[in-house]
Structure 1
Amino acid sequence: MRKMILIMLLPLSVFANQDPKKCADIESVSHRLDCYDSIFGKKEVRKESAKEDNKETKWVYSESKSEMSNTEYVQVSIDSENSVNFSFPYQGEQKARLRLWRSKKGNTDYLTFSIKKGQIVCRTGSGCSLSIKIDDDDEFYIKGDEPSDSDSTYTTVKLTGDEAFRISRASKILIQPTIYKQGYPIFKFDVKNNPYPCCAKYPFFKVLLPNIENGATPNLELVKEEISQKTFKQCMIFLPYRLEDKNLAWDESGVYTKKEHKDSVEWVKYQDDYVEKFICNKKSKQQKNIMYRYTDHIFRF
């Protein structure tokens, strides 16, 4: 397979005094990524990243520290493009605010949605439901917690790795809450060029996916190969549902790619510590399962 873009872009001097193998021995995922970043450089994951860093964004980045726990937090926030004007007693033009945040040492991403006036409807036992649409994808629902201080103007959602990653890469987001006696307003956010340091819990989102999108796959070594007799239909049952109408997809367990040929279909699943390839062949009526391990240390999460 071709060398990663990441490695192709590195000057030889980078390796002079540092060994990427030392990073693989670090137990903490976030610290391990920091180690790789110090060697390989965050801005060299993608060719165009240097230009992206200079692009304008409507996000506001900030850091804070709790005086009680000494926990350090990183967050980005943005206001909606559109305004709403509720009826009495919440009249007056207002925007909604979207905030992404996590503790610096933590690996869980959170989304806080808030308004200035009004009551976000939350139901006991089922939380505060928000409908969200990312770019042109289908809408889906996320559930926030009812605030412990009984403030009805905001709710906080614990995001999955997939949700956090999709939001961090988005260009536009629509959020539709249920507001008590005010209906279902839609708030629109221009979220391009998000500076949020997403997805410490799922490092393959940060490292692997951008390279695959640019056509660069990691170096692999064969672990084992198995062949079984199956009809094409029987074999295709194992195709991940996320790849049914796509050639590239991801979820919290890995990144998926698919290639369709005249007489076969193959798909690959890149996971934390190994890679699986499946090939369904129409002519031979065979299913081939191949397992690999990463040889590039940066992919050993």
Structure 2
Amino acid sequence: MIILLVVIFVIVASCLPSRDKADTAASSPARASEPITREAPEVQRARLLAEAKSETGTHQSRLSAAEKLLSSFAVSDEAKQAEPIAKEMREAIRKASLGKQWQYWDQDDGMTSRMSRGATVTSSNTHEFDFPYAGAQRAKLVLRRHPRHGNDVMLEIERGQLQCTSYSGCDVLVRFGEGQPRRYKAMGPADNSSETLFIEGYADFVRRMQAVETVRIQANVYQQGAPLWEFDVSGFSPERLTK
């Protein structure tokens, strides 16, 4: 009987750690499923307002914090304070990106040893022509000041045939901002290539362009109708063409 009791005691003792481990494992999922403490609304509002007001933050980070306040806590005092900050940051971001769509370039004119300077902006919209010019394409508006050829406004397409010859010319419609369309005379290049045309009236064109943010140009393309190209011309720097 004594030996039997000892054996039973040993067996019971050896089972105790396993039960403890099982109890620990069983309790782990319960702890894992406990809810995570969330930031109190008043604390979140204060934090977002501090981020929106931070002078060391970027314009985008301050705008994001202000917009979060306006969307999630629209009726709060913090949102009222964030509203003018959001407006200020949007304007700052707009000004920072102003004119970056323009590409400025210069080339040495070997005949005069003077510089030819220009600026190019790509259309914000695309057109897709029929075969053999298939595929979405953009147009380019080019302003050029050349020491021998003078000042030019050029419309360029990637593929296709602009119906504007060097001997008979053509008309194009140009709309500056939300004004009425204006008709300009244009000529094709001397080499009779069909992807470029020259719009007459450089000074008038640039003067009107500087007063608006958008210019739309419509020109006839062989068997493709008269597609309209839209250009973001904001932030143009004319002084970069006269240095």
Q: Distance in 2 between matches of 1:118 and 1:96?
A: 11
Q: Distance in 2 between matches of 1:66 and 1:124?
A: 23
- Write the deviation string for residues 39-64 of structure 1: whole angstroms up to 9, x where unpaired: xxxxxxxxxxxx99855221111121
Displacement of 1:150 in angstroms is 1.2
Q: Which among 166, 173, 178 is matched to residue 131 of structure 1? A: 173
Q: Distance in 2 between matches of 1:124 and 1:72?
A: 25
Displacement of 1:123 in angstroms is 5.2
Partner of 2:124: 81
For structure 1, which runs of at least 5 residues remain unmatched after alignment?
1-50, 201-301
Does 2:229 align with 1:193? no
> Relative to structure 1, is the Cα distance of residues 160 and 95 closer, same or farther in structure 2, using a 3 angstrom cutoff?
closer
Partner amino acid, structure 2, of 1:87: D
Instruction: Report if the CA contact (8 A) 1:109-1:198 is conserved.
Output: no
Partner amino acid, structure 2, of 1:119: Q
Partner of 1:60: 103
- Write the deviation string for residues 5-50 of structure 1: whole angstroms up to 9, x where unpaired: xxxxxxxxxxxxxxxxxxxxxxxxxxxxxxxxxxxxxxxxxxxxxx
Q: How does 1:155-170 map to 2 (within 5 A)?
A: 155-170=197-212
156-165 or 87-96, which deviates more? 156-165
Displacement of 1:69 in angstroms is 3.1
**TM-score w.r.t. structure 2 length?**
0.55
Larger radius of gyration: 2
> Relative to structure 1, is the Cα distance of residues 107 and 55 closer, same or farther in structure 2, using a 3 angstrom cutoff?
farther
Partner amino acid, structure 2, of 1:75: G
- Paired residue secondary structure (1:197): helix
Partner amino acid, structure 1, of 2:224: Q
Instruction: Report if the CA contact (8 A) 1:108-1:159 is conserved.
Output: no
Q: Which among 144, 151, 162 is matched to residue 120 of structure 1? A: 162
Instruction: Report if the CA contact (8 A) 2:218-2:227 is conserved.
Output: yes
Q: Distance in 2 between matches of 1:174 and 1:79?
A: 12
Q: Distance in 1 between matches of 2:109 and 2:165?
A: 30
Displacement of 1:188 in angstroms is 0.7
Q: Distance in 2 between matches of 1:124 and 1:158?
A: 13
Aligned length: 149
> Relative to structure 1, is the Cα distance of residues 168 and 199 closer, same or farther in structure 2, using a 3 angstrom cutoff?
farther
Does 2:114 align with 1:71? yes
Partner amino acid, structure 2, of 1:78: V
> Relative to structure 1, is the Cα distance of residues 139 and 198 closer, same or farther in structure 2, using a 3 angstrom cutoff?
farther
**TM-score w.r.t. structure 1 length?**
0.45
Partner of 1:92: 135
Instruction: Report if the CA contact (8 A) 1:109-1:199 is conserved.
Output: no
Displacement of 1:87 in angstroms is 0.3
Q: Distance in 2 between matches of 1:186 and 1:63?
A: 28
Q: Distance in 2 between matches of 1:53 and 1:69?
A: 38
Partner amino acid, structure 2, of 1:70: S
Does 2:183 align with 1:141? yes
> Relative to structure 1, is the Cα distance of residues 164 and 107 closer, same or farther in structure 2, using a 3 angstrom cutoff?
farther
Aligned sequence identity (%): 25
Partner of 2:144: 101
For structure 2, which runs of at least 5 residues remain unmatched after alignment?
1-92
Does 2:215 align with 1:184? no
Q: Distance in 1 between matches of 2:211 and 2:148?
A: 20
Q: Distance in 1 between matches of 2:239 and 2:95?
A: 13
Partner amino acid, structure 2, of 1:98: L
Q: How does 1:11-90 map to 2 (within 5 A)?
A: 55-57=97-99, 58-90=101-133
Q: Which has the higher helix share?
A: 2
